[in-house]
Amino acid sequence: MTEEQTQSLPPLKSIGGQEIKQLFAASLVWLEKHCAYINSLNVFPVPDGDSGTNMLLTMQAALKETNNSPQHSASAIGGLLAKGAHLGGRGNSGVILSVIIQGFARAIEGKDTITANDFASALTEASKVAYKGVQKPVEGTILTVCREAAAAAVAAAVETDDLREVLARTVNEARASVIRTPTLLPVLKEAGVVDAGGQGLLVIFEGALKYLRGEPMEMEAGGAGAQNLEMISREEGWGYDIQFHIRGQNLDVDAIREMLFSMGESALIVGDAEIIKVHIHAPNPGEIIKYGAEQGALVNVIIENMQEQYIDFMAGKAANSKPPIAVEDVAGIFTVVVAPGDGLARVFESMGAGAVITGGQAKNPSIEEILNAVNSAKGDNVIILPNNKNIIPAAEQVKPLTAKKVVVVPTKTVPQGVAAMFAFNFQNDLETNAQAMTRAMQNVDTLEVTTASRTVTLDGVPVKEGQVIGIVNGKLAGAGDQRDDLTVRLLQEMGAAEKEILTIYYGDTVQPADANAFGNRVQTELKGLQVEVMRGNQPHYHYIISVE
Amino acid sequence: MKAEKYLGRIEISPHAIASIAGQAVLECYGVVGMANKNFADGLTDLLPGARYQRGISVEVVELQIYIDLYVAIQYGTRISEVAIGIMNRVKYSVEKTVGLPVAQVNVHVQKLQMDDK
């Protein structure tokens, strides 16, 4: 159908600001008509189900900004739409739509009119900008639809400079992309729906295309593509979730679909003359099954009570029918960590350490202290992180003194201990964890910066009492009079610039402001590193630095 | 925390809850990263991949889960909407996976991420 209609109109080479406004207004009208349907596509039982409403309000806010604006430049109108969308973005889908509009507007900045090519590249830019807004993009959403539609627009713009044709192909691909969303996102497939946000974007494109073609804004009965997945709002009740296949001969898919649509909601009926898959929600499963059985042989019948599922889910909150729950801090494996300074203790606690014993270079904890911590553990499996070479032997000696199963991961420094904690996985058993933690601690280099307590030559480095010294992985690496200069020099010698993350734990001798300033300096002098500054509050050591 | 009855015990560490919350928050639209919760001010660089857990704190008080998230948000999004999205998604994910009520999800916006260009 698209070919004929497109060819009957003269090619549209470019549009200006006022036309963009008209297109937007048309999209808005079309979206309004589909709003209830899009809202019904909600799959999460959380209040983000109003995708249609949210996108509609976002579009309205965008368009309102252009009201009464006589501007004829595409750039100016685009800017106004972007501003309106930014300030009026509502809900998850609305926010994404607002970012798409902003990305599009930025790409057409400075242009009085936009051509087919401009449209395609602006849509591509919009998709890129939209993807930047999320750390872990989930595919099968409005993002996917936007990206794939943009790619189709780019391909079309290579072949033709007719905006109408490019938009037509964009719509076609967007529709195909929407239909594919359940194959990418399992939660959609389970619910038998397409992605609501993606559907909304499709409708927006469709509205614009209809305007360009001069078509009326009327709903097609049983329209093509994604609209086939007829949906009714879930507010009408939860009822039963019914799934089955009908096997038979000469099955009339359309007639069966039409009949079932009238009997339930969220219906998805697909198949051919020999087998039809039915997925439907209905208050009375008996009628549906009876009807299905009249059409052919039923197989793979699944009936679930959604009301019960929902009640069960909600009951989890009230914890009425659930086992009594007690609070306990720890998984099956308990970790006992030795850390100097309360700042470092908090770092370990925030990572899930079961017990933290204060101690370090100048104050080694006694075997008894470690033993007490091990015995206080709620579980029978304990991992000890000594975080100091001199404490490892004491930790080892705890083993025969307790009935619990104890593994010492021989961390010699605090950074090794932190790396080991990061490798801890509560789902794994003791041995697996110990191995993973031992491996992880070897991937970290440690620089400890302190003040020499006497004049000595060690590891070939002459040191005067009172000088600042740096210890790299347990070996004296350098001495100097200026703390920060020495530290930066040693970091460079360690090859820290080639690593990724540098964490500075500053001790009780360093002011927070100084530590942050030092962090900024390291960031500047060793480019490309991710530098973190944390309060360790350890005694004696000005800095304990982890390089990984 | 621990659930007891029937065949034995179920124990879920706050660390595990933090992992679930972390997965959920990074899938929220508008969130471009986590920031370190230990910084009141000063450096607020984003936490690299595996370390995002440092931007999450989980507390369990009287059978209720309290989650604090320290996030960086994309400039150009409406912060209030993104934050509400985070609250809903994290609450939903944690309750669905853990089966225990989430009393609070507090979102601390530590940074607005501007585009590179």
Q: What is the pLDDT along chain A (548 residues), one digit of tens a residue?
A: 444 444 567 888 999 999 999 999 999 999 988 888 888 776 654 444 578 888 999 999 999 888 888 888 999 999 999 989 988 888 888 889 999 999 999 999 999 999 999 999 999 999 999 998 887 888 999 999 999 999 999 999 999 999 999 999 999 999 999 999 989 988 788 777 889 999 999 999 999 999 998 887 766 543 333 333 333 333 334 577 787 878 888 888 778 878 887 887 766 666 667 777 777 777 788 888 888 888 888 877 777 776 555 454 444 333 333 333 333 333 477 888 898 888 888 888 777 777 888 887 767 787 788 888 888 877 788 889 999 888 888 888 888 888 888 889 999 888 998 888 877 776 677 888 888 888 888 888 999 998 887 777 777 788 888 888 888 988 888 888 888 888 988 888 888 878 878 889 999 888 888 888 898 888 888 877 778 888 888 888 899 998 88
Complex ipTM? 0.70
Judged by CB atoms closer than 8 Å, whether chains meet at B38 and A534 is answered as: yes
Determine the distance in angstroms separating the CA of A285 from the nearest CA of chain B, rounded to an integer: 27
Instruction: Give me the residue from A46, A134, A530 closest to B29, CB to CB.
Output: A134
CB within 8 Å: B11 and A319: no
Instruction: Among A96, A102, A500, select the one facing B29 at the smallest CB separation.
Output: A96
pLDDT of residue A312: 46
Residue pair A446/A415 in contact by the 8 Å Cβ criterion: yes
Q: Which of A213, A122, A112 minimizes the C-alpha distance to A162?
A: A213
Q: Which residue has the tokens 């991710």?
A: A530
Contact state of A531 with B96 under an 8 Å Cβ cutoff: no
Chain B segment 13-72 residues within 8 A of A by beta carbon are 13-16, 23, 26-33, 36-39, 42-43, 45, 47-48, 50-51, 53-54, 57, 60-63
Asked if the Cβ–Cβ distance from A86 to B76 is below 8 Å, we say yes
- Residue with the bigger pLDDT between B6 and A538: it is A538
Residues of B in contact with A520 (CB under 8 A): 43
Structure letter (DSSP) for residue A141: S
Q: Give the closest-approach CA distance of A217 to chain B in angstroms.
A: 31
How close, in Å, is residue A198 to chain B by CA atoms? 14
The tokens of B35 are what?
């920031």
Q: What is the 3-state secondary structure (H, E, C) of A319-362?
A: CCCCCCEECCCCCCEEEEEEECCHHHHHHHHHCCCCEEEECCCC
Nearest-CA distance A193 → chain B (Å): 19
Give the whole-angstrom CA distance, residue A386 versus residue A405.
Answer: 16
Enumerate the domain spans of chain B: 14-113
- Test A350 with B37 for CB contact under 8 angstroms: yes
Contacts of A427 in chain B (CB under 8 A): 16
Closest Cβ opposite residue B27 in set A89, A136, A347: A136
Residues of chain B with Cβ-Cβ distance to A426 below 8 Å are: 13, 15-16
Whether B78 and A136 lie within 8 Å, measured CB to CB: no
Residues of A in contact with B45 (CB under 8 A): 530-532
List, for residues B65-114, the tens digit of each pLDDT value. 999 999 989 888 989 889 988 998 899 889 888 888 899 999 999 888 88
pLDDT at A352: 72
Rounded to the nearest angstrom, the minimum Cα separation between A220 and chain B is 33
Contact yes or no for A95 and B26 at CB 8 A: no
CB pair distance less than 8 Å for A91 and B81:
yes
B2 touches chain A (CB under 8 A): yes
Q: Report the C-alpha gap between A359 and A396 in whole angstroms.
A: 16
**Which H or E run includes A186?**
helix A186-191
B79 touches chain A (CB under 8 A): no
**Closest Cα in chain B, distance from residue A17 (Å):** 22
CB pair distance less than 8 Å for B42 and A89: no
Q: What is the 3-state secondary structure (H, E, C) of A264-331?
A: CEEEEEEECCCEEEEEEEECCHHHHHHHHHHHCEEEEEEEEEHHHHHHHHHHHHHCCCCCCEECCCCC
Termini Cα distance of chain B: 46
Cβ within 8 Å, pair A95-B27:
no
Q: Look at the domain B14-113 and name its fold.
A: Alpha-Beta Plaits (3.30.70)
* Chain A / chain B CB contacts < 8 angstroms: 163
- The residue-averaged pLDDT of B6-30 equals 84
Is A91–B85 a contact, with Cβ atoms under 8 angstroms apart?
A: yes
Interface test with B, best of A50, A90, A95, A348 (most B CBs within 10 A): A95
